[in-house]
Structure 1
Amino acid sequence: MCRACPSRRWLLGALAAVPLAACSENVETGRNQLILVDDGQLAGLADQAWSDLRGKTPLLRDPEAQARVGRVGAGIAKATGRTDLDWGYAVFDSPDVNAFVLPNGKVAVFRGLLDAVRSDDELAAVMGHEAGHVVARHAAERVSQQLAVQAGVSLAQILLSEQAGENADEIAGALGMGAMYGVILPYSRKHELEADVLGLTLMEKAGHEPRAAVAFWERRIAEAKGQPNVPEVLSTHPADATRLARLREAVQTSPSASGGRG
């Protein structure tokens, strides 16, 4: 076995030190996270992304709908305690049954979602989920994981270049695929489940009924029955059955489970 050159030894040491230097506990999730980027960096990128979205995607011309989303969203935002963020909401004129959040607290809701929810409680379930991503710092964790994977693959490529020769790129590519299916995608599915559970807590703090989240997803899953699905192992999101089971379990353990609301 050949001895690594000083530069390679330095790279190995630096890469090994990164997780120790950047690992911190998130009080919202109760687990450690690898964070290599700060919230300020992501917020700047998110500001630009939000500006681009508003410039390219038409807003829904319905003041009542915009006000409704803003009202429900404001309650969820207050429940997060993240007063450092400039939370903002917009309903875009698209049939997609979807919503997403940026790490700067800007939430996009599509017209299709408003058509799909049957109450403010169901809307709060979706918006609570999106806010859950923010308080859990999922965006920072995802970017950090991707940076770490890229650094690891690049380092492997350097270390393999002499021994593997022309096969180094193929081996590095295989390592990258392994990281994608072994780290990136599993964590993405974990993030979605965490956001679901955090969303239940946030919507309840904001005065909404957590069981509405279960009702919404039960209906959405029933409507999608028979449609082709990507296998869970290849998806960024957990399987519908996994997601629904976790939601039901979390609702059963929520403070309002015993008596509900009148």
Structure 2
Amino acid sequence: MSLMHRLNSLPRRRLLQVLGAGAVLAPLGACSENLATGRRQLVLVSDEMLAQLSHQAWLDLQAQTPRVEDERIQQRLGAIGRAIADASGLTNVNWEFVAFESAEVNAFVLPGGKVGFFRGLIDLAASDGEIAAVMGHEIGHVAARHAAERLSQQLAVSVGVRAAQVLLSEEMGEHADEAAAALGLGLMYGVVLPYSRQHELEADRLGVDVMRSAGYAPADAVSFWRRMSADNAAQPLAWLSTHPTNEERLVALEQLAGPVR
């Protein structure tokens, strides 16, 4: 039975007692300092649990999206990935690097070290260094444990909204659901999305550090994102987005690596 199902099944008074005592979240995890980012983060789930959850997603993606058949591309991506992974110092991760046949200009990493690059991004990159910049960014997410932190934040938000709904129902009756939904949106835009943007900038910073350690030029990260900016002019409003704007990202990267002339 899931945590949220257990919470929903508790009597109202007992739920408030449990939440008030902190008995729901405390046994699952705690705030701890992440050495990669230098800040404390709330982690309620283990890396092992996340790896198990991502395993099926990885299998599903490979079943739905064909791999690039050109083995030279697969070998190139794997060589860059292994160089960046070795430089990251993350020795307890079972890394796998796959190029997928899709025109989408994107890449991703799943907990457990499964890294996917779409053909569109590989074709857009002008050099191995630019691919290394993206690879460093993705591996930076793993070093920073961003997936565990995001899932933990969402779990905490869900628990908090459920508790608020119980409290509001005594005061607002039939309007409690609407009030709880508004609270949930406020938490999403005020907490979860800003943290996501912070994660992206942290991954950029860690990516620049690790690509430098692997022997790639950090300036390649700037040139890649300049190319991305020119290719992807339409962006959502920054406060509605899970990612920083291209301009914000470029300013941060130029401070880390120096501007590309």
Q: Answer whether contact 2:41 2:149 (CA < 8 A) is retained.
A: yes
Cross-structure match for 2:43: 35
- Matches of 1:21 and 1:91, distance apart in 2: 35
Partner of 2:85: 77
Correspondence for 2:160 among 152, 159, 179: 152
Structure 2: how far apart are the matches of 1:91 and 1:239? Answer: 26
Structure 1 residues 53 and 163, CA gap change in structure 2 (3 angstroms):
same
Give 1:5 shift.
Answer: 4.2
3-state secondary structure, aligned to 1:142: helix
The answer on whether the counterparts of 1:90 and 1:107 sit within 8 Å (CA) in structure 2 is yes
- Which residue of 194, 197, 210 corresponds with 2:202? 194
The one of 114, 132, 142 aligned to 1:106: 114
Residue identity in the other structure for 1:244: L
**Map 1:140-219 → 2, pairs under 5 A:** 140-219=148-227
Residue 246 of structure 2 is matched in structure 1 by 240
CA distance in 2, matches of 1:14, 1:98: 40
Matched, 1:251 2:252: no
Matches of 1:32 and 1:103, distance apart in 2: 19
Moved segments of 4+, more than 4 Å: 4-7
Cα distance, 1:9 vs structure 2: 2.7
Alpha carbons 2:98, 2:117 under 8 Å: kept: yes
Q: Taking every aligned residue pair, what percent have the same amino acid on both sides?
A: 53
TM-score by length of 1: 0.90
Which residue is equivalent to 1:137? 145
Give distance in 1, aligned partners of 2:128 and 2:14: 61
Contact 1:19 1:34 in 2 (8 A): no
Q: Alpha carbons of 1:17 and 1:45: their partners in 2 closer, same or farther (altered >3 Å)?
A: closer
Cα deviation for residue 250 of structure 1 reads 1.2
| Alpha-carbon distance between aligned partners in 2 of 1:16 and 1:32, rounded to the nearest angstrom | 20
Report matched runs for 1:80-95 at 5 Å.
Answer: 80-95=88-103
Quote the offset at 1:50 in angstroms: 1.0
1:49 and 2:57 equivalent? yes
Letter in 2 for 1:241: E
Q: What letter corresponds to residue 168 of structure 2 in structure 1?
A: L
Alignment check: 8 A CA contact 1:15 1:152 kept: no
Quickly say closer, same or farther: Cα 1:47–1:115, change in 2 above 3 A: same
| Distance (Å, rounded) in 2 between the aligned partners of 1:244 and 1:122 | 14
Kindly state the Cα deviation for residue 224 of structure 1 after the two structures are TM-superposed: 3.1
Partner SS state of residue 49, structure 1 = helix
Q: CA deviation at 1:13?
A: 2.0
TM-superposed CA distance for 1:6, in Å, is 5.4
State how many pairs are aligned.
249
Aligned to 1:260: none
Does the aligned pair in 2 maintain the 1:98–1:109 contact within 8 Å? yes
Query: d(CA) in 1 for partners of 2:68 and 2:114?
Result: 16
Kept after mapping to 1: 8 A contact 2:28/2:45: no
Measure, in 2, the Cα distance between the counterparts of 1:184 and 1:241.
Answer: 21
Compute the displacement of 1:20 (Å). 11
RMSD over aligned Cα atoms: 2.0
1:220 aligns with 2:211: no
The alpha-carbon deviation at position 19 of structure 1 amounts to 10
1:210 Cα deviation after fit: 0.5
- Consecutive unaligned residues of structure 2, counting only runs of 5 or more, are 1-11
Report the residue type matching 1:216 in the other structure: F
Q: Write the letter of the residue equivalent to 1:237.
A: H
Distance across 1 between alignment mates of 2:99 and 2:115 = 9
Which residue number corresponds to residue 8 of structure 2?
Answer: none
Greater CA drift, 6-15 or 228-237: 6-15
Deviation, structure 1 residue 11 = 1.8
Question: 2:25·2:44 contact (CA, 8 Å) conserved in 1?
Answer: no
Q: Please say if residues 84 and 210 of structure 2, whose CA atoms lie closer than 8 Å, have aligned partners that are also in contact.
A: yes
The 2-side partners of 1:130 and 1:205 are apart by 15
Q: CA deviation at 1:17?
A: 6.4
